[in-house]
Amino acid sequence: GTVLGIEGTAWNLSVAIVNEKNVISEATDTYSPPTGGIHPREAAQHHAKYASAMIKQALEEAKEKGIRTSDIDAISFSQGPGLGACLRTVATAARMLSIKLDVPLAGVNHCLAHIEVGRWKTPAEDPVTLYVSGANSQVLAYRMGRYRVFGETLDIGLGNAFDKFARGAGLSHPGGPKIEQLAKQSANYIPMPYVVKGMDLSFSGLSTAATEALKRYPIEDVCYSLQENAFAMVVEVTERALAHAEKNEVLLAGGVGANMRLREMLDIMCEERGASFYVPEKRFMGDNGAMIAYLGLLMYEAGDTLAIEDSHVNPNFRPDDVDVSWRK
- 183 vs 242, which CB is nearer to ligand ATP? 183
Q: How far is the CB of 72 from ligand ATP (least distance, A)?
A: 25
**Segment 79 to 138, residues that bind ligand ATP, using CB under 6 A:** 82, 133-136
Contacts to Fe ion from residues 126-185, by CB under 5 A: 133
Q: Is 122 in the site for Fe ion (CB under 5 A)?
A: no
Work out which of 104, 176, 289, 319 binds ligand ATP, going by CB under 6 A.
176
CB closer to ligand ATP out of 4 and 13: 13
Element (H, E) at 48: helix 40-64
Closest CA to 15 of 312, 291, 310, 281: 291
Q: Which of 7, 116, 152, 163 binds ligand ATP (CB under 6 A)?
A: 163
Sole window of 21-29, 50-58, 196-204, 252-260 interacting with ligand ATP (rule: CB under 6 A): 252-260
CB of 268 to ligand ATP, least distance (A): 18
Nearer to ligand ATP, 272 or 281 (CB): 281
| Ranges within 143-162 binding ligand ATP (CB under 6 A) | 157, 159-160, 162
Whether omega for the bond prior to residue 319 falls within 30 degrees of 0, making it cis, is: no
* Residue 14 beta carbon to Fe ion: minimum distance, rounded to whole angstroms: 11
User: Measuring CA to CA, how many Å separate 235 from each of 139, 140, 273?
Assistant: 10, 13, 12
**Considering only residues 152, 200, 239, 287, which one is a binding residue for Fe ion as defined by CB under 5 A?**
287
Residue 282 CB neighbour total at 10 angstroms: 11
> 11 vs 147, which CB is nearer to ligand ATP?
11
Positions in 63-82 near ligand ATP (CB under 6 A): 82
Q: Give 193 or 315: the residue with its C-beta nearer to ligand ATP.
A: 315
Q: Which residues pair with 257 in a beta bridge?
A: none
Residues 111 and 237: their CA atoms lie apart, in Å, by: 18
- Minimum CB separation of residue 49 from ligand ATP in Å reads 18
Give the angle 153-159-162 at the CA atoms, nearest 5°.
110
Site for ligand ATP, residues 280 to 319, rule: CB under 6 A: 286-287
- What SS3 class is residue 18? strand
CA separation, residue 221 to residues 183, 193, 263 (Å): 7, 15, 20
Q: Can you name the residues that pair with 134 across neighbouring β-strands?
A: none
Query: Closest approach of Cβ 236 to ligand ATP, in Å?
Result: 18
**Nearest Cα to Cα of residue 161 among 233, 111, 217:** 233
CB atoms closer than 10 angstroms to residue 41: 12
Helix (H) / strand (E) element for 91: namely: helix 84-101
Residue 109 binds what, of Fe ion, ligand ATP, none (CB under 5 to 8 Å, by partner type)?
none
| CA distances from residue 246 to 35, 82, 243, 249, 283 in whole angstroms, order as listed | 44, 30, 5, 10, 29
Contact residues toward ligand ATP (CB under 6 A) are: 9-11, 82, 133-136, 157, 159-160, 162-163, 174-177, 180, 254-256, 258-259, 286-287
By the criterion CB under 5 A, which residues form the site for Fe ion? 133, 287
